[in-house]
């Protein structure tokens, strides 16, 4: 009894018992699992037969993954991969791309290893594979799950043709701070929107059938709460209440699991003091016991070895903690393959824990059909065919967000531009930058496939298009360095390159603008190096001297259209005050130029809506619409200093309004939409009717009319607020959306089913519940929707 009172020993026993409980798959516990293929009797029978034949070393080998190509972190070691594969000491490889390369290792595995277990090849396929689509944050701006499904479907087909059966996507981390560079890979700030898109990404990759020859196993990441990095600094800790964790950050991962995602990737961060890669609570209690996940969990690059930097133990200790917590595969950590066997033999790790990790991995391999069809047929080289381009262009068209389109004196609204022959000045370092228009995380994408904005406008205007780059994306020597760096290090020595003269280039751009009728400015940030992983920023303005360039061109008095090309919300306060038309174009991919031209000239009416709030100042971050209420809410004019105590002693900034510059859900059109008053078909609902069965208990309806002169698509958004909950709830939460296309004068009634899924919240005892309360309900075209109604839940 004395030993049991020792906290360290008690915790160790608790950890061991918990891990032992976790090895029983959900399907064997009598509960249904989200992915029926992984739970099928045939797959599990084959897994058990193979597992009985495997030595301990061969089993551990399945839990090891190495990179033999492009690196997204420091390499674990210089190993002979051919020998490892032949000995059955590696179960997966990443960054091996192409049928010839994957077949090389697969032949070794199938012909030289004792048990002929195929290698599972994985890759970051983030926004397309060879055909590069807009970045995920841009796809989220479409508010169109079908667009996400299309991107995933094309990516899966092309990846499988390259021998890749496993993609490290989708990333569904809730991102509420654009200082964090990986917001580019996310679906933005809202759990409802991100959950809808998570399901679509998984469906596109896996098609509900992993055995199809053009399906891939998806990998939802990064589990968990990676997007909540303190101060927006990548890899930093996350710290929050469990209510916030469950009600906001975990929802999109859960949606992906419910959609049948085959694998999950851990995150680099700690959550409330526990590193996520060794977090028993999230990986076992929530993921496997609550959500019934039966696939396998892989660490992020080197994350198991990096647990040593979290000060929770030496190499063998952190490997043991990660495995017992529920991390099944070690990506480039070089620990599972070197320190697990000895701990099994010494009794520190139960052999059953290793067996269950291997079961999970083998289930996915069998479900993918790799044992029956291990090789990839070598096909023709990839080309960006007209069909592929058309698909990429259509998706890109939907992602563009018209932030502003104010009338100009004597001209009216600048957009859409007239196709009549005018002299147009195209200015900015992003206008002809194929690499940065492609976007971050394009492992297999090729900048040569990109049609730049300069190329697309040149096709339309010929010699009536005037062009000036204006400045570099960065300033001075940083601009030269930007041209030479890669993930693998410096590609060339830029020390002797002349430093760009931005002053001279800005002067040339001003003269170019003066010669034109209108100036289109393409500004942003270098996506290839300053966005994505390890790309946090303390300042969110345009990089380098682009702001100076913008101000100089605006000062000419020529009408200016600003095209923003970036994978995160930037600080656009000066531009919003001085530029009449602003288009957020993100990182559009290979059809960047044609898609932007579609919007600028009205061939396509913009329909995108912001998935993330744009700040007035970086000091507002993290900024998001679903704020919690305070006891001293700020009201009235917050654009000036407070005039008395009533204005001062409230939750506000002294030098900036609280609100976003452009809020979540914002996006303009070339037409106008009007909303009727929303209605509910039942004003009161007894609480006992609101049960967790996915069935609605009330319907919210609203009439939406196109009052303009051109056809357009509106994203109709439903928001609610629980006004009398036992735990305070956000001032607004998105609970429904629909894309509705209307011709001029047309009216459509849009309906939203509302039930337990939309009304529930986590109570103080951490249970999903619906209580007797009242809900305010709004429907409109952004999170500022004014038209409202109400619903009462009664005893």
pLDDT at site 20: 45
pLDDT at site 785: 96
Element (H, E) at 505: helix 502-514
Quick check: 632 pLDDT over 70?
yes
653-686 pLDDT, tens per residue?
999 999 999 999 999 999 999 999 999 999 999 9
Residue 70: band (very low, low, confident or very high) from pLDDT cuts 50, 70, 90:
low
Q: What is the mean pLDDT of the chain?
A: 93
pLDDT at site 420: 72
If one counts every other C-beta atom within 10 angstroms of the C-beta of residue 174, the result is: 27
pLDDT at site 693: 86
Residue 487: band (very low, low, confident or very high) from pLDDT cuts 50, 70, 90:
low
- Please state the rounded mean pLDDT for residues 22-36: 54
pLDDT at site 491: 46
Quick check: 610 pLDDT over 50?
yes
Torsion over CA of 619, 624, 627 and 630, rounded to 10 degrees? 20
- Please state the rounded mean pLDDT for residues 65-70: 82
What is the rounded distance in angstroms from the CA atom of residue 204 to the CA atom of residue 120?
20
More confident site: 171 or 33: 171
Least confident of 29-43, 131-145, 280-294: 29-43
What is the rounded distance in angstroms from the CA atom of residue 62 to the CA atom of residue 54?
10
pLDDT at site 478: 77
State the pTM of this model: 0.94
pLDDT at site 410: 82
Instruction: Please return the burial class of 483, using the count of CB atoms within 10 Å of its CB with bins 0-12, 13-18 and 19+.
Output: middle
pLDDT at site 17: 47
What percentage of residues in the chain have a pLDDT greater than 90?
87
Residue 529: band (very low, low, confident or very high) from pLDDT cuts 50, 70, 90:
confident
Instruction: Please return the burial class of 261, using the count of CB atoms within 10 Å of its CB with bins 0-12, 13-18 and 19+.
Output: buried
- Please state the rounded mean pLDDT for residues 390-401: 98
Whether 757 sits among the annotated catalytic residues: the reply is no
The backbone torsions φ and ψ at residue 722, rounded to the nearest 5 degrees and listed phi first, read -85, 115
165-191 pLDDT, tens per residue?
999 999 999 999 999 999 999 999 999
- Please state the rounded mean pLDDT for residues 33-46: 91
pLDDT at site 418: 86
Quick check: 361 pLDDT over 50?
yes
What is the rounded distance in angstroms from the CA atom of residue 594 to the CA atom of residue 389?
10
Quick check: 13 pLDDT over 70?
no
More confident site: 451 or 635: 451
> What distances in angstroms separate CA 37 from CA 22, 49, 738, one per listed residue?
20, 17, 31
Residue 510: band (very low, low, confident or very high) from pLDDT cuts 50, 70, 90:
very high
What is the rounded distance in angstroms from the CA atom of residue 442 to the CA atom of residue 445?
5
β-pair partners for 748: 704
Residue 637: band (very low, low, confident or very high) from pLDDT cuts 50, 70, 90:
confident
Contact 394, 488 (CB under 8 A): no
Which one-letter DSSP state was computed for residue 497? S
Q: Which of 300, 397, 449, 502 is catalytic?
A: 300
- Please state the rounded mean pLDDT for residues 36-58: 96
pLDDT at site 465: 96
At a CB cut-off of 8 Å and minimum separation 6, what does 570 contact? 178, 524, 525, 540, 541, 542, 564, 614
Quick check: 202 pLDDT over 50?
yes
Say what angle helices 386-399 and 145-161 make with each other, to 10 degrees.
150
Contact 392, 591 (CB under 8 A): yes
Quick check: 389 pLDDT over 50?
yes
Least confident of 356-370, 469-483, 538-552: 469-483
Residue 636: band (very low, low, confident or very high) from pLDDT cuts 50, 70, 90:
confident
The backbone torsions φ and ψ at residue 697, rounded to the nearest 5 degrees and listed phi first, read -115, -10
pLDDT at site 517: 94
Q: Where are the beta strands (DSSP E) in 269-421?
A: 270-271, 274-275, 296-298, 330-331, 401-405, 407-408, 412-413
747-786 pLDDT, tens per residue?
999 999 999 999 999 999 999 999 999 999 999 999 999 9
- Please state the rounded mean pLDDT for residues 198-208: 98
pLDDT at site 11: 41
Give the side-chain half-sphere CA count within 13 A for 430: 35
pLDDT at site 69: 65
pLDDT at site 256: 98
567-587 pLDDT, tens per residue?
999 999 999 999 999 999 999
pLDDT at site 492: 44
- The single residue listed with the structure tokens 């008095």 is 557
Secondary structure of residue 252 in the 3-state scheme? helix
Contact 328, 249 (CB under 8 A): no
Continuous H helices in 601-689? 645-648
Residue 626 token pair:
């679903």
pLDDT at site 639: 87
What is the rounded distance in angstroms from the CA atom of residue 135 to the CA atom of residue 133?
6
What percentage of residues in the chain have a pLDDT greater than 70?
92
> What distances in angstroms separate CA 290 from CA 32, 443, 579, 760, one per listed residue?
12, 35, 51, 17
- Please state the rounded mean pLDDT for residues 37-49: 96
If one counts every other C-beta atom within 10 angstroms of the C-beta of residue 557, the result is: 9
Residues constituting the chain: 795
């Amino acid at each position: 009894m004395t030993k049991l009172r020792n906290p360290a020993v008690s915790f160790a026993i608790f950890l061991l018992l918990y891990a032992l409980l976790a090895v029983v798959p959900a399907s064997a516990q009598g509960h249904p699992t989200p992915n029926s293929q992984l739970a099928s009797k045939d797959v599990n029978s084959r897994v058990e037969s193979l597992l009985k034949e495997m030595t301990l070393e061969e089993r551990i080998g399945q839990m090891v993954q190495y990179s033999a190509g492009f690196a997204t972190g420091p390499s674990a070691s210089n190993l002979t991969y051919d020998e490892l594969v032949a000995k059955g000491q590696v179960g997966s490889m990443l960054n091996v791309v192409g049928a010839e390369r994957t077949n090389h290792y697969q032949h070794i595995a199938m012909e030289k290893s004792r048990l002929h277990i195929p290698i599972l090849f994985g890759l970051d396929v983030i926004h397309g594979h060879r055909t590069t689509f807009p970045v995920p944050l841009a796809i989220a701006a479409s508010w169109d799950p079908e667009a996400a499904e299309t991107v995933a479907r094309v990516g899966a087909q092309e990846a499988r043709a390259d021998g890749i059966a496993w993609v490290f996507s989708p990333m569904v981390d809730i991102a509420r701070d654009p200082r964090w560079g990986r917001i580019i890979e996310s679906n933005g700030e809202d759990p409802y929107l991100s959950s809808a898109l998570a399901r679509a990404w998984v469906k596109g990759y896996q098609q509900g059938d992993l055995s199809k020859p053009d399906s891939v196993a998806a990998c939802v990441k990064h589990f968990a709460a990676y997007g909540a990095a303190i101060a927006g600094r990548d890899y930093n800790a996350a710290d929050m209440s469990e209510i916030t964790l469950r009600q906001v950050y975990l929802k999109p991962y859960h949606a992906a699991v419910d959609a049948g995602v085959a694998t999950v990737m851990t995150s680099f961060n700690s959550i409330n003091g526990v590193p996520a890669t060794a977090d028993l609570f999230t990986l076992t209690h929530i993921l496997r016991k609550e959500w019934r996940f039966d696939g396998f969990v892989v660490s992020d690059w080197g994350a198991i070895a990096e647990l040593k930097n979290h000060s929770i133990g030496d190499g063998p200790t952190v490997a043991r903690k990660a495995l017992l917590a529920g991390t099944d595969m070690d990506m480039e950590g070089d620990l599972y393959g070197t320190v697990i066997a000895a701990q099994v033999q010494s009794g520190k790790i139960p052999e059953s824990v290793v067996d269950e990790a291997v079961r999970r991995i083998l289930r996915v391999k069998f479900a993918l059909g790799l044992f029956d069809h291990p090789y990839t047929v070598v096909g023709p080289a990839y080309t960006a065919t007209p069909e592929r381009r058309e698909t990429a262009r259509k998706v890109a068209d939907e992602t563009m967000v018209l932030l502003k389109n104010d009338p100009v004196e004597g001209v009216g609204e600048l957009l859409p531009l007239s196709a009549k022959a005018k002299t147009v000045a195209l200015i900015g370092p992003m206008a002809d930058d194929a690499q940065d228009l492609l976007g971050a995380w394009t492992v297999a994408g090729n900048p040569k496939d990109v049609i730049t904005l300069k190329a697309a406008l040149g096709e339309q205007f010929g010699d009536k298009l005037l062009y000036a780059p204006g400045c570099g994306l960065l300033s001075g020597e940083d601009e030269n360095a930007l041209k030479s760096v890669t993930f693998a290090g410096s590609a060339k020595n830029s020390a002797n390159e002349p430093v760009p003269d931005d002053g001279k280039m800005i002067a040339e751009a001003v003269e170019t603008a003066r010669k034109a009728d209108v100036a289109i400015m393409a500004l942003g940030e270098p996506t290839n190096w300053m966005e994505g992983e390890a790309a946090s920023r303390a300042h969110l303005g345009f990089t380098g001297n682009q702001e100076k360039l913008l101000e100089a061109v605006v000062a000419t008095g020529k009408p200016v259209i600003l095209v923003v090309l970036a994978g995160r919300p930037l600080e656009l306060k000066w531009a919003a005050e001085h530029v009449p038309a602003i288009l957020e174009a993100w990182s559009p991919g290979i059809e960047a130029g044609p898609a932007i031209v579609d919007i600028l000239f009205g061939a396509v009416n913009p329909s995108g809506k912001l998935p993330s709030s744009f700040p007035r100042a970086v000091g507002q971050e993290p900024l998001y619409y679903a704020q919690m209420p305070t006891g001293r809410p700020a009201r009235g004019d917050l654009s000036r200093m407070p005039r008395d105590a009533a204005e001062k002693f409230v939750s506000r900034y002294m030098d900036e309004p609280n609100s976003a510059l452009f809020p979540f859900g914002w996006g303009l059109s070339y037409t106008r939409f009007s909303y009727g008053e929303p209605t509910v078909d039942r004003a009161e609902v007894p609480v006992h009717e609101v049960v967790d069965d996915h069935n609605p208990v009330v319907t919210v309806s609203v009439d939406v009319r196109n009052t303009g002169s051109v056809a357009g698509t509106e994203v109709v958004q439903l928001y609610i607020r629980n006004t009398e909950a036992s735990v305070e709830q956000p001032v607004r939460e998105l609970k429904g959306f629909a894309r509705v296309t209307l011709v001029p004068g047309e009216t459509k009634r849009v309906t939203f089913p509302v039930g337990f899924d939309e009304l529930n919240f986590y109570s103080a005892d951490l249970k999903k519940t619906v209580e007797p309360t009242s809900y305010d309900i709004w429907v409109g075209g952004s999170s500022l929707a004014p038209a409202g109604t109400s619903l009462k839940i009664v005893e």
